[in-house]
Amino acid sequence: MTDYLVTIATFAVIYGITAMALNVRWGWAGEFDFFVYGLLAVGGYTYAVMVLPPAPKNDPGLIYMLGLKAPAIVGALAAMGVTGVISLVVGAIALRNLRQVFFGIMTFSSVLIMTAVVGQEVDLFNGYNGVFNVPQPFHSSLHLNSEAYSFFFLGICIVVLIVVYFVLERIFWSPYGLVLRAIREDEVAAAAFGFSPYTSRLKAYVAGGMIAGLSGALLVSYLTAFNTDAWSPIETVLIFAAIIIGGTGNSRGAILGSFIIFGVILEGTRFLPALPGNPDAPSAFRAIAIALVTLAFLRWRPQGILPERHYQDRSETVSLPRIPALQHRGDGNLEG
Amino acid sequence: MAALRACNHGVLFVTVFWDSVGFGLVTASIIALASVAFSLQFSVTTTPNFAHGDLLTAGAYGALAAQFATHNLAIEILASLCVGGAVASILNSALVQPFLRLGSRRITIFLVTVCFGWILQNLLLIIYGGQPNVFVLPTFQLEQVGPFLWTTLDMAIMGTTVVVLLLLHVMLRYTKFGKALRAVSDNPELARVTGIPYPRVVRLTWLIDGMLAGFAGFVLAAYIGSVTPTTGFSFLVVIFAASVIGGLGRPYGTAVGALIIGLAMEISASYLPAEYKTAVAFVLLILALLVRPRGIFNTEIWNFAD
Amino acid sequence: MTAILEINGLSKHFGGVQAVSDFSLSVEKGSITGLIGPNGAGKSTVIELVSGFQKPDTGAIVFAGRKIQGREPHRIGQLGLLRTFQLAREWPKLTVMENMLVAALDQRRPTIWRALATPGRLREAQEADRGRAQAILADFDLLALRNDLAGTLSGGQKRLLEFARLVIAKPAMVLLDEPLAGVNPVLGARIQESIEILASRDITVLLVEHNLRLIEALCSSVAVMALGTRIAFGNMAELRSDTKVVDAYLGTSA
């Protein structure tokens, strides 16, 4: 039973980080972006590629790419670097010209295509079978049994979650965070006040992308395998659902939403019947359940459970005299 | 000797080229059916419907269900029309309209359609399972028509598409509803004020969109030979490509866009591995989004003289 | 008397329509200058061109010694030239105080790097901004609403918030695009006071308005536009007796 709970918790934590990444792009910057899941995958693959050892000679079926056998941290940093660069390039082009609908179309199509293309490049990604046997961080150095190790790994994930959370919180409350939200609200007025919507959005885009890449690295090292079946846009919808339910524009909401989706809903509906001859039925039921809950939230509580927070000025206000009205200056001179 | 071989290569090259043009026209027809429906709906409602691909799938499965009951082609087609139309109408009445009445932002409607599509896909998954369901059709022979190599199915597809598009054109140009539709897409406020029954136009547009999409789904499934719950969904990239190139919300432009995409996909398949066909459509989509997101036709939506 | 804004030979057409044609104007530093003219004269287009939201076809615009024609709006904002819009543009899902804090920012401050590296200094600056914001909000009678979402304010309050944001931003000059449009007389008096507050803080004002009473009350110099170009310049007394001006307005009362 604990093993089971640890598994759910680990998924919830990892996807919580992904949800926070999506929140940066969508809740803060207002960019409707399907590609987050694609970046998760890219991050995961980069991590795997960095961390795997060279292919064993006696196993011609498995072809790994670089065989660098790098330590986990390097793999994670590489994942963030690659996703950061991709986000920069894509964002630089897309944020200049595209908006809303077009942006959604583009990012949506990108994920669909990635699935298709990656499936073809067998050499690079080991095709539809995916990359597997990815070594886990510290696994070889700490000699723990698998149960203890899973706790340890969960601990790592939680630490990463907390770090990301605090970094994002600091950004949220900073002048940059405030400007980003102003741009989301009305970019014309923001531009008139001297803030560049393009630059600020691009920064958010890259930051969100890097965090998504990081969560991808965690996911791959947890699963020790990754295949293209997991790369479907449908999974992206889960992350969106997490934010919608948990609270848009809100890191805590993202985490809460992730726990609700991956913890409560996925597990609560686990007891639904499996139809004979149809192994996909239970997960399909779960998916429908999540979609319905999301629709309900969109209808009755679009801001989610935890609403966006604001700077609250609770300080004592001194009673200040109003500046007396100035004399009319029909002749161009000021009278005080 | 080398010259002769080069000549042969040249001839083969040309033959392959014309063959792929032929395939391209067939593909373009299927794309046209699906994307003109999308553009038509978008022109009236400006609601991006991400469940559109699933309308195709629904129509295909409708036809499949009919196939289990009878092996009558006409009934199968009818089933695809009915299912497609019904699903689209449900999406509109049960979800889109209520949310619009709430004053929801476009992004919210967008998400609503995504959720709906998701539910649809998973329902089909529960009912039919994820394995491809085979379509049983009469066998078709390959024929040489001019420089092209087509089966009777191919020619049926192209013929039907032309007929459907013509019917659409007639409807848009000459019927009262068509004129109302054009008015609404041009200027919704003005249309409302001049007494055009806006809600009815929207409902009918969704219905037509669904029927057309359902039929397109049937054709697509017939062409591929089988259908899975994600068939229509995967086709979305191609549909978007055609719609964006032709102009989102411009049915006539989209038809041309479909032609461009279909030809590009098939011609490129002669020189690139066939799996990359969709990637070609995607690249064109990206180029279009970057260079001319409003579509290659820079004129008004409706290219009529009146 | 130095000119802070110099416009020379500005022109702009949209489709077939020449909205602005060879328009020139020199705005004196520290003044409240008016820009009036009948509907369709091109006044708002001039504002759009000067603030960077439209690019001119020809002409030069020099602000505080720098060429700004054709530049991006945010660059022009950074140089200290701000504007209002015909419909008040607040940031609706931010609180009134947050609106002020954004406006108060020095544009170089909002970076992610600074957010992570120097939070202490940022917090101090924000505290200082908060104090200034409170004082200014008090002037505009918005202090009690400071934690409310700006979108929940009444139309008049949103207009005043616009002015409050301008004050805290400390620009060198502002372009006011018909601030009295659709405004009742009581609010109109408050807006007049708001403009006077701006002037009292050494902010140059270019005021585009239809309401000639306000223009007369505030402006030392007024430019008149018709059909895209300037037809007169002077104070209201001079303009009243200028036949060109009277003709342009076709007898519209002031």
CB pairs under 8 A between A and C: 166
What pLDDT was estimated at residue C41?
A: 83
What pLDDT was estimated at residue A234?
A: 62
Amino acid letter, residue B171 = M
Phi/psi for A329 (5° steps) reads -115, 65
> What radius of gyration do chain C's Cα atoms show?
19
What pLDDT was estimated at residue B76?
A: 84
The 10s digit of each residue's pLDDT in B272-286 is 777 778 888 888 888
Looking at the complex, report in whole angstroms how far the Cα of residue C39 sits from the nearest Cα belonging to chain A: 24
What is the token pair recorded at C91?
């940031």
d(CA C179, CA C177): 6
d(CA A306, CA B27): 48
Touching partners of A (3+ C-beta pairs < 8 Å): B, C
Touching partners of C (3+ C-beta pairs < 8 Å): A
Residue A237: list chain B partners with CB under 8 A.
Answer: 114-115, 118
Confidence of residue C250 (pLDDT cuts 50, 70, 90): low
Nearest to residue A322, comparing CAs of C196, B179, B134, C73?
A: C196
The 10s digit of each residue's pLDDT in B25-72 is 888 999 999 999 999 988 888 878 889 999 999 999 998 888 888 877
What pLDDT was estimated at residue C161?
A: 94
The 10s digit of each residue's pLDDT in B103-114 is 777 778 888 998
**Interchain touch A–B (≥3 Cβ pairs closer than 8 Å):** yes
The 10s digit of each residue's pLDDT in B78-100 is 888 999 999 999 999 988 888 88
Choice among A240-249, A316-325, B57-66, B281-290 with the minimum mean pLDDT: A316-325
Looking at the complex, report in whole angstroms how far the Cα of residue B30 sits from the nearest Cα belonging to chain A: 19
Instruction: Determine, for residues A176 and C111 on separate chains, whether the beta-carbon distance falls below 8 Å.
Output: yes
d(CA B82, CA A88): 46
Report angle CA B173, B175, B176 to the nearest 5 degrees.
Answer: 115
Residue B140: pLDDT over 90: no
Distances (CA, A) of A110 to B237, B260, B282, B285: 9, 20, 8, 10
Confidence of residue B216 (pLDDT cuts 50, 70, 90): very high
Q: What mean pLDDT is reported for chain C?
A: 88
Touching partners of B (3+ C-beta pairs < 8 Å): A
What pLDDT was estimated at residue C134?
A: 92
Choice among A99-108, C45-54, C127-136 with the minimum mean pLDDT: A99-108
d(CA A226, CA A125): 10
- List the single residue in C with minimal CA-CA distance to A308: C93
What pLDDT was estimated at residue C204?
A: 94
| Residues forming beta bridges with residue C28, ordered by sequence position | C3
Q: What mean pLDDT is reported for chain B?
A: 83
Confidence of residue B215 (pLDDT cuts 50, 70, 90): very high
Average pLDDT over residues C8-32: 90
**Residue B287 touches partner A, C-beta closer than 8 Å:** no
Looking at the complex, report in whole angstroms how far the Cα of residue A176 sits from the nearest Cα belonging to chain B: 24
Higher pLDDT, A123 or B220: B220
**Residue A286 touches partner C, C-beta closer than 8 Å:** no
Instruction: Determine, for residues B275 and A295 on separate chains, whether the beta-carbon distance falls below 8 Å.
Output: no
Nearest to residue C20, comparing CAs of C70, C53, C52, C57?
A: C57
Domain formed by C3-90+170-249, architecture: 3-Layer(aba) Sandwich (3.40)
Choice among A184-198, A279-293, B57-71, C213-227 with the minimum mean pLDDT: A279-293
What is the token pair recorded at C16?
């077939």
**Among residues 102-141 of chain C, which lie with CB inside 8 Å of chain A?**
102-103, 105, 107, 109-112, 114-116, 119, 122, 125-126, 130, 134-135, 138-139, 141
3-state secondary structure of C231: strand
**Interchain touch C–B (≥3 Cβ pairs closer than 8 Å):** no
What pLDDT was estimated at residue B157?
A: 86
What pLDDT was estimated at residue B190?
A: 82
Residue A328: pLDDT over 50: no
Distances (CA, A) of C197 to B257, C163, C166, C204: 58, 9, 10, 11
Residue C47: pLDDT over 80: yes
Unique residue bearing structure tokens 């999301």: A294
d(CA B246, CA B294): 8
The 10s digit of each residue's pLDDT in A23-42 is 988 888 777 788 888 888 88
Q: Could you tell me if B140 and B152 are in contact, meaning their C-beta atoms sit under 8 angstroms apart?
A: yes
Instruction: Determine, for residues A240 and B111 on separate chains, whether the beta-carbon distance falls below 8 Å.
Output: yes
Residue C175: list chain A partners with CB under 8 A.
Answer: none
CB pairs under 8 A between A and B: 115
Q: Could you tell me if B282 and B239 are in contact, meaning their C-beta atoms sit under 8 angstroms apart?
A: no
Average pLDDT over residues A255-283: 71
Candidates C95, C109, C193; nearest CB to A311: C95
- List the single residue in A with minimal CA-CA distance to B114: A237
Exposed, middle or buried by CB within 10 Å (0-12, 13-18, 19+), for C144?
exposed
Q: What ipTM goes with this model?
A: 0.89
Choice among A120-129, A172-181, B158-167, C180-189 with the minimum mean pLDDT: A120-129
Choice among A90-104, A198-212, B1-15, B209-223 with the minimum mean pLDDT: B1-15
Average pLDDT over residues B182-211: 86
**Among residues 246-265 of chain A, which lie with CB inside 8 Å of chain B?**
none
What pLDDT was estimated at residue A273?
A: 60
Residue C77: pLDDT over 60: yes
What pLDDT was estimated at residue A136?
A: 67
What pLDDT was estimated at residue A138?
A: 63
Give the residue extent of every domain in chain C.
3-90+170-249, 91-152
Instruction: Determine, for residues A237 and B118 on separate chains, whether the beta-carbon distance falls below 8 Å.
Output: yes
Distances (CA, A) of B255 to A238, B164, B224, B249: 34, 12, 21, 11
Average pLDDT over residues C188-193: 89
What pLDDT was estimated at residue C102?
A: 93
Separation of first and last alpha carbons in chain C: 29
Unique residue bearing structure tokens 């979609």: A291
The helix (H) or strand (E) run that includes residue C179 is none
Chosen for mutation from B49, B118, B120, B282 (greatest number of chain A CBs closer than 10 Å) is B118
Instruction: Determine, for residues A234 and B95 on separate chains, whether the beta-carbon distance falls below 8 Å.
Output: no
Residue B14: pLDDT over 50: yes
Instruction: Determine, for residues A313 and C130 on separate chains, whether the beta-carbon distance falls below 8 Å.
Output: yes
What is the pTM for the complete model shown?
0.82
Instruction: Determine, for residues A176 and C101 on separate chains, whether the beta-carbon distance falls below 8 Å.
Output: no
Instruction: Determine, for residues B129 and A278 on separate chains, whether the beta-carbon distance falls below 8 Å.
Output: yes
Strand bridging mode C204-208 / C32-36: parallel
Residue C65: pLDDT over 80: yes
What pLDDT was estimated at residue C254?
A: 46
Unique residue bearing structure tokens 């079926």: A61
What pLDDT was estimated at residue B2?
A: 60
What pLDDT was estimated at residue B75?
A: 84
Confidence of residue A336 (pLDDT cuts 50, 70, 90): very low
Residue A333: pLDDT over 70: no
